[in-house]
Amino acid sequence: MAITILIRHSNRQHIKTAADVTRAGITAKGYLNAFRAGWFLRKNYRIDGIHTSHIARCYDTARAIAFAYNPLNGLPVTREKSVYDTICGGFVKEGMFDEWNRIGVENGFHKKFYDDTRGVFALCYKSGIMKYNSVDGYAKEFLGKYLNGKNLLVVGHDTTIVPIWMHLGTRFGFDADYYKETPPILTGIAIEHEDGKISAVSRIDALGGKIDSVSSKK
């Protein structure tokens, strides 16, 4: 049995413009909270490596967690090479990431992402921005890549967590529409799996020290 944990990055610098979306790192408080999350994860899970979005705030979070989890040797951290890779923008068409950020900042799509995630996927697919017309297409890409028999921590974004959660909730019969606003920092999903098959799903709060089982359906 293996586990894949997906969490949102730690406290980030303020985003004012579309350009800030890609360059904002984490704050001093963000580093402290990432250390605390690392201690929680070390106590509760075996993690063999960390995969992270290309974006700085995720990579910063991953490195801090790796140090807290294993101060002597750390954990191997694999950073995506592009904003179009799976964790960061796997649902966005090549060449459209700036446009996705622009409409997100200017038109409030990032807020609508939680109010009507399925609607945003359908509209952005129709507009030529997204690769998938539903959360399920993106979720299948993510799960196919990261449910690989290894014990992994994946550090991503709110826009990574929500589609995966919705897909799993619909699939296993728990509250698919749980997220009506931005998922808090360092919270996310723990997925137990074997040979690519999911055996249990939990909601975790690595900063608050909570693990809530939501499904054990196979």
pLDDT of 191 strictly over 80: yes
pLDDT the model gives residue 23: 84
Is residue 33 one of the residues assigned to a domain?
Answer: yes
Is residue 18 one of the residues assigned to a domain?
Answer: yes
Confidence of residue 192 (pLDDT cuts 50, 70, 90): very high
Tell me the pTM. 0.94
Confidence of residue 218 (pLDDT cuts 50, 70, 90): very low
| Long-range pairs of 30-33 with CB within 8 A, sequence gap ≥ 24 | 30/57, 30/60, 30/61, 30/64, 30/185, 31/60, 31/64, 33/185, 33/186, 33/207
Give the whole-number percent of the chain exceeding pLDDT 90: 72
DSSP H helices, the chain, are: 20-23, 28-44, 56-69, 86-89, 97-106, 109-115, 117-126, 135-146, 158-172
Nearest CA to 7 among 27, 36, 37? 37
For 79-104, letters b (16+ CB in 10 Å) and e give bbeebbebbbbbbbbeebbebbbbbb
pLDDT the model gives residue 217: 53
Least confident window among 4-13, 19-28, 35-44, 76-85: 19-28
Is residue 30 one of the residues assigned to a domain?
Answer: yes
Can you tell me whether residue 216 is helix, strand or coil?
coil
Is residue 168 one of the residues assigned to a domain?
Answer: no
pLDDT the model gives residue 109: 58
User: Could you list the residue range(s) of the whole structural domain that residue 154 is in?
Assistant: 2-90+136-162+189-215
Is residue 173 one of the residues assigned to a domain?
Answer: no
Residues 6+ apart with CB under 8 A from 95: none
pLDDT of 180 strictly over 80: no
Measured from the Cβ of residue 126, the count of other Cβ atoms closer than 10 Å reads 10
Q: Are 77 and 38 in contact (CB under 8 A)?
A: no
pLDDT of 181 strictly over 90: no
pLDDT the model gives residue 152: 98
Is residue 65 one of the residues assigned to a domain?
Answer: yes
Confidence of residue 30 (pLDDT cuts 50, 70, 90): very high
pLDDT of 75 strictly over 70: yes
Mean pLDDT of the chain: 91
Nearest CA to 207 among 27, 54, 61, 47? 61
pLDDT the model gives residue 111: 63
Query: What value does the mean pLDDT take over residues 75-81?
Result: 97
Would you state the structure tokens that stand for residue 196, as one six-digit string? 């690519």
Confidence of residue 86 (pLDDT cuts 50, 70, 90): very high
Tens of pLDDT, residues 38-48: 999 999 999 99
Is residue 112 one of the residues assigned to a domain?
Answer: no
- Residue 205 maps to which CATH number? 3.40.50.1240
Total of domains in the chain? 1
Confidence of residue 119 (pLDDT cuts 50, 70, 90): confident
Is residue 61 one of the residues assigned to a domain?
Answer: yes
DSSP 106: H
